[in-house]
Amino acid sequence: MKKFTSTLIKPTRRQFLTSTAGALALASAPAIIRPAKAADNFKIGLFAALTGPASLFGPTQKACAELAVDQVNAAGGINDKKVELIVVDGGVSPADAAKTGIRLMLNEQVDFVVGSHDSAVRQALVAAFKGKLPYVYTPIYEGNECAPHTYVIADTPPQQLDLALPWLAQHSGMDTVYMIGNDYVWPQVLNKYAKGMIAKLGGKVVGEEYMPLGAPNKFEEVVTRIKAANPKLVFVTLVGGDNVNFNRTFAAFGADKITRLSSLLEENTLLGIGKENANNLYGAMSYYANIETPRNAAFKQAYAAKFGAKAPNLSLLGEDCYAGVKFTAAVANKAGSANTAAVAKAALNLTFEAPGGQWTMRANRHVDKDMHLADATGGSFKVIKSVANMASGQTCT
C-alpha cells in the first residue's frame, strides 16, 4: 500500500526532471519544430527601401503593397488563406539583406518574397534563398537575372529602348548621340544595348561618360562639353540627385534645346528638376502616375481612399510593389499552393493586371508588358506613345 501511493502521488526525482525538461524544451523550441501557429495565413515578405539611398520610395512601396494585400484579401485571399505582409528593409548591405532573407524564410516561414531594391541585394537574396521559395523582383533594372524561381516583373533595357529610340530617331534625329551616366552596372548595360540600336538606326555615339555614383558631382564641365559637341540626342543614365543636377545645369547653360532621354525619370526626380528645366526631356517606363486609363484611375482612387491626403507620392517605384503582390496572388491562386514547382508551372504565360497595364509572365521568368513613352516638358508627364505587350528581350531558360 505504501509503495503504490508513493509512486502515484510522489513521482521519482528522475521522472520529475525529465518531464519538466521536456516541457521547457517544447516551450522554448524555435518555430520550426513547434507547429506553426498562423498556418492559416499566406505570408509575403516585402523588401522595401526603408533606409538607404532609395529610402525616399520606402513609404510608397509599403503603401502600394498594403493596398494590394487589402484588395487580394477582399477578393478572398490566396488559396482561402488571409494574406499577411511582412515588411523588411531592402536598403541595407547585401550581407544584411541576406540575413533578413534567411530569417524570413526559416523563422517567419513566408510563402513568397517580393523585393524592390538594388541588384547587389537581389544577388545576395538569390544566393540566400537558393530557389527554395518563389522570389519576385519588381524594380526597373538592367536585366540578366535568370536564377530559377526568381520572377522578374521589372522594366528591362530592351523594353525601354525599343520603344524610345526609334521614336526619338524620327522626332529629333539620331545622327549623333552623347551618353552620360553613373558608373555602375545598370547604365553600362543600358548603354551597351543602346549602342546596338543606335547603330541600327544609323546613328553614331560621339561621347560616353560615367560619373562616380555617390560622389558630390558637379555638372558644369560635362554640360559645357556636351553643348560643344552639340549631339542630336543625349542619353542620360544618371540616377537620383545626379539626374536632377545634370538636367538643371543643362537648362541653365541654355542647352535644353537638345533632346534628352532619361532612363530613370519618375515623378520625384522630375519635381527636383523643376518644370522650367524639363524641356525636351523624355522617359520610357511601364508606369506614370498620370496615365489616363480606367485601370489607373481605379488604382489611384483606391490609393487615395486608403491613405488620404498624406498619401506618399505615386511613382513607378511603388506601383511595382503593388504589381508584385498582385502577381503573387495570381500565380499562387492558379498553382493552388506556394510550392516552387507548382508556381513555376502556373507562372508560364500567366497574365495579370498592374495599374500600368496588362503584364504576361513568360518562360524566361520576365514579363511582356505595356510600355509608355512620356514627354516631361512643363514638369509633368504626358504619354505620347504606348506599346502593348513589349517583350523583355531576356534569354533565360
The alpha helices in the chain, defined as continuous H runs, are 2-9, 13-28, 58-74, 94-103, 119-129, 157-172, 185-200, 220-229, 240-252, 267-273, 294-307, 316-335, 340-347
Residue 27 to residue 21: CA distance in whole angstroms: 10
- Residues pairing with 382 in the sheet: 375
C-alpha cell at 254: 541654355
User: Least distance from C-beta 330 to other proteins, angstroms?
Assistant: 32
Which CB sits closer to other proteins, 197 or 321? 321
State in angstroms the smallest separation of the CB of 396 from other proteins.
32
Provide the minimum distance between the beta carbon of 59 and other proteins in the complex, in angstroms, as a whole number. Answer: 8
> Toward other proteins, which CB reaches closer, 111 or 256?
256
DSSP-assigned states of every residue in 107-148: II--SEEEE-S-HHHHHHHHHHHTTSS-EEE-S--------T
Supply the angle between the helices 240-252 and 220-229 in degrees, to the nearest 10. 60
| Lookup: cell for 389 | 505587350
Both ends of the chain: CA-CA distance in Å? 77
Instruction: Work out how close the CB of 374 gets to other proteins at its nearest, in angstroms, rounded to a whole number.
Output: 18
Q: With respect to other proteins, which residue has the nearer C-beta, 129 or 184? A: 184
Q: How many CB atoms lie within 10 A of CB 307?
A: 16
Contacts of 16 (CB under 8 A, 6+ apart): none
- Which CB atom, from 86 or from 252, has the smaller least distance to other proteins? 252
Nearest-angstrom CA–CA distance, 264 and 284: 8
Q: Which residue, 180 or 373, has its beta carbon nearer to other proteins?
A: 180
Under 8 Å between Cβ of 287 and 355 = yes
Nearest distance from residue 311's CB to other proteins, in Å?
12
Least separation in angstroms between residue 238's CB and other proteins is: 11
**Closer Cβ to other proteins, 50 or 161, answer by number:** 50
SS3 287: coil
Nearer to other proteins, 173 or 241 (CB): 241
Q: Which C-beta is closer to other proteins: that of 159 or that of 247?
A: 247
Indicate the residue among 27 and 228 with the shorter CB distance to other proteins. 228
Q: Nearest approach, Cβ of 140 to other proteins (angstroms)?
A: 18
Residues that bind other proteins (CB under 8 A): 55-56, 183, 209-212, 215-218, 220-222, 224-225, 228, 241, 244-245, 248-249, 252-254, 268-269, 271-276, 313
The distance of closest approach from Cβ of residue 118 to other proteins in the complex, given in angstroms and rounded to an integer, is 17
Q: How far is the CB of 240 from other proteins (least distance, A)?
A: 9
Query: How many CB atoms are located within 10 Å of the residue 16 CB?
Result: 11
Q: b/e per residue, 150-165, with b = 16+ CB within 10 A?
A: bbbbbbbbbbbbbbbb
Between CA 304 and CA 311, with CA 305 as vertex, the angle to 5 degrees is 35
Question: What's the CA gap between 353 and 339, in Å, rounded?
Answer: 22
